Chains A and B, each alone.
Chain A
Amino acid sequence: MLSKKEAYSIIDKTLEHCNYYTMISIDSEEEGLTRFANSEIHQNVFNYNTTVSIKILENKKESKVTTNLLDEKSLEQAVKEAEENLAFLPEGKVKMPHLCEPKEIVSEAYDKEVGIKFDITNRSELLKQGIEQLDDTFIAAGSLSLKKSVLAMGNTKGIRRYARIDSVDFNAVVIHEGGFSGYVEMNTNKADELDVVKEFKVAYDKARLGIDPVSVKPGEYTVILEPLAVGDLLAFMSYIGFAARGVQTGMSFLTGKLGEKVFGENITITDDVSNMNTIPLTFDFEGYEKKKLSIIEKGIAKELAYDVTSAIKDGVETTGHSVGNTSMGGFAFNLVMENGKDNMTDLIKSTKRGLLVTRFHYMNAVDPTKAQLTALTRDGLYLIEDGEIKSGVKNLRFTETMSKAFSNVVGITKERKKVPGFFATNYVPALKIENFHFTGNAE
């Protein structure tokens, strides 16, 4: 992987050819991913790619060129192309600011054990040990991947940024020959947090718990959403609603609702890069320091994620949430949901009749302006009756507005888990929600 010195060297060499204010961004990623299905490895891949983006701001014009050809001649050519584009680009409405401080933000600390524990051979061995626990009536599928990422930036004002993050992603579904399945998924930047063999056991136990699933009718149910399912909802709400740009265009469900109660008082959601259970990328894709956001505080919509463009429009400062895509505006991906006092056992015990949901599949926004989402349950839906898990349940589709769902939360666990989000990791508890609207059977 690119060291800080190597990354800065590419930035320096590229900037030598620049005649305007220019920001260079380097996105470098190495990934080794071992994929398995039918309890054997069927795909096993390695990829390493470094791209350099050259963004020029001149008066009210902006020009951007990206390349993965890293020899000096190609980088010079890319700069030339970006500068030539200025000649015919129309001017924008505003002059974009030049980033001048802080001079340097560096995060070089990463867990070196991640790369050792999950190297090519060890990944195969760990998966083998995990799968060997299953009896012949079950099969497993999933992936285990080691990812090493570097984001580096530098501009003509002397600004430098560097962050390296090594992480591991694991997901596994264990499927009974009768069709019922259990699932686990985790990503972390700390090697000792992932015990692959133990995680397999969790998925295996979940699959065994639901053999011979029953069908239930669509309708409103009390649900207990495990952290993966909560994470799915939260990540999607962030995508469609937590960005200032969404409010500016009217597509966010928080349009006109800032300062108003949108969820129950027991719901508090922050975006907090300082929380060690999320991925520690402390600057955004425009080079700005990422600020902590209080998105929902005791049910009240408070703050939104901004990039520079959306911040200028609202006459405020960026919150450092750019993901390098103006059409998305800011994006909150270090989401942390405040925990409660309950534990999972109590949530189940206190449920007369309800459904326990492991995760959702193929979520989408039916109507983003109402945060009306739809998805199906997958890999572990269970019927709870009289405070006990009675059986597995065949999958259902829900269609529900999030303002209703998050106003009906009657239980929140103390324990929280890291769950995968769109770009990184979120940290959430399990939730018990009343009157959650299931609108169809999966088959």
Chain B
Amino acid sequence: MKAEIKKILCLLEEKGVDYADVRIVDTVKERITTENLQVQSIVNSRSKGAGIRVIHDGSLGFASTQNLEKLEETAMKALEIAKASRILQKEKIILAKKEVTVDHYETDIEIDPFEISKSDKIELLFSAEKEMRKSAELSQTKATMDFQKQEKIYADTEGSYITQLLYESGGGIVATARNNNLTEIRSYPNSFRGNHATAGYEYILKLDLIGHGEKTGKEAVMLTNAEECPSGVYDIIIGGGQLGLQIHESIGHPVELDRVFGSEAAYAGMSFLGVEKRNENFKYGSEHVTVVMDATIPTALGTYGYDDDGVKATKKTIIDKGIFKNFISSRDTAVKIGQPSDGNNRADEWANIPIVRMSNINLMPGNFEFEELVEGIEDGLHLVTNKSWSIDDKRLNFQFACEIAYEIKDGQFTGKIYRNPIYTGITPQFWGSCDAICNDKYWEVYGTPNCGKGQPGQVAHVAHGSSPARFRKVKVGVEDVK
């Protein structure tokens, strides 16, 4: 394949392109869902193809094909598209400089998930479902596993040739209870198909879906007897999983440099941050808030060797003690602020163009024990596990719903729970209200395998490290807004 790819790149150079790259991606997936102790679905899929990106006279064209015998035809199509782009273009595309690299990267796994039999996987999922049902009358139980193996080749006209072999594993359980027209759910370890990592089957075993089944089932039933969460202003502790999504929506997306430059203006939206904010000591949050982009964390879902610009995965501080420091970028966006790319340009498989995507965007741990967070609350709530999310197109006004809220009074849990807790806020004010973050003992990485962006729509697999954190005077609920 290497010779064929080089032939295509040489051909494009002869045609006068400024730059071109070829990516060949071969992805195998397995997705198992059991429901009510039956297999709801097992889907095995494979998708292989090539994407060719061309910059000609400063204009971009991209074409892809599943037929690897048609690389030349596809390259010519990409060139034709680049020439058509010239019709409506003001500024020529320039790429930030990078190192020419020849390398191979592999996810470090202990157990190949595709070597484990489907019957063993199904048995584990059934066992977890049985645990949920053990001591609770549930209307539905569900358990899931997702696996992915992806082989990638990247080559460009600058001389880089990079191969990668990436594995992903994920799993989760959901209990649903009904009582008096109320239907409530509890999930473990996170909602929307659980938690996910760049890892092998050992990750599934570590999740211990069976061990968490009983508590998950019990809480779903308890929620059907719980009161609706009250509306008001409260001090809250947000659990790690929910906080992961909070980081995703209100820090990860606003710091994507392509959004700042308007690339997503008509679709995913832009950002409340302008490029000038990087030099203004902009206060993004309190002094407790330090956020680091790190695409090298072992097993995190957003970890890889190189992005789809062929730039090595790296680590960079986004927010330092509350002060905004850096965006995440690609070669074509980084050059506009005079920086090298930090390796966050990624495409959804082979058929899409790479765009700026989060890798692992992490809220760094603080120094607090969880008990200390609770002790500091007179009247508040501990909110856990995301149920729904929404944020405006500038990433300022967010509203999240969680599965459950645990009541805190006078520094202690009262034992009372609430259903349907909602909290809402404005990004910088919210992060500015953070006054305590749990220490590294509580720090976990939460994979988000469903991050949507771009036209045509692309899905990225990213992650967020976090530990529970406390926020003061947060608006909870909406019923009191008159």
Contacts and interface: CB of A to CB of B under 8 A. Distances in A.
B181 A256 contact: yes
B117 interface: yes
Given A37-B262, A145-B456, A366-B422, A443 B352 contact: no
Contacts of B81: 32, 44-46, 120
Interface residues of A, number: 89
A37 B265 contact: yes
A34 B62 CA distance: 10
Contact of A442 (B397, B422, B456): B397
B39 interface: yes
A361 B269 contact: yes
B311 interface: no
A359 to B, nearest CB: 11
B353 interface: yes
Given A36-B88, A439-B481, A120 B80 contact: yes
Interface stretch (B153-161, B281-289, B317-325, B384-392): B384-392
Interface in A31-70: 31-51, 62-70
B59 A69 contact: no
A442 B270 CA distance: 14
Interface string B52-84: 000000011111111000000000011011101
Contacts of A439: 399, 424, 478, 481
B394 A41 contact: no
B8 interface: no
A363 interface: yes
B441 interface: no
Given A141-B262, A143-B267, A443-B394, A40 B90 contact: yes
A443 B429 CA distance: 11
Nearest to B178: A250
Contacts of A39: 88, 90
A89 B66 contact: no
A441 to B, nearest CB: 7
Interface in B410-467: 420, 422, 424, 426, 455-456
Given A66-B43, A327-B41, A443-B426, A43 B392 contact: no
B46 interface: yes
Nearest to A132: B88
Contacts of B65: 48
A72 interface: no
B376 interface: no
A47 B64 contact: yes
Contact of B399 (A121, A127, A183, A440): A440
Given A219-B482, A367-B401, A172 B38 contact: no
B33 interface: yes
Given A249-B183, A326-B41, A124 B88 contact: yes
A46 B85 CA distance: 12
A249 B269 CA distance: 34
Nearest to B120: A88
Interface of A: 31-51, 62-70, 78, 81-82, 85, 88-90, 92-93, 120-121, 123-125, 127-128, 131, 139, 141-143, 145, 171-173, 175, 183, 218-220, 249-251, 255-256, 326-327, 361-367, 369, 374-376, 378, 395, 397, 399, 437-443
Given A39-B88, A85-B44, 10 more contacts: A37-B265, A41-B88, A46-B64, A48-B65, A65-B44, A65-B45, A250-B176, A440-B397, A440-B475, A443-B392
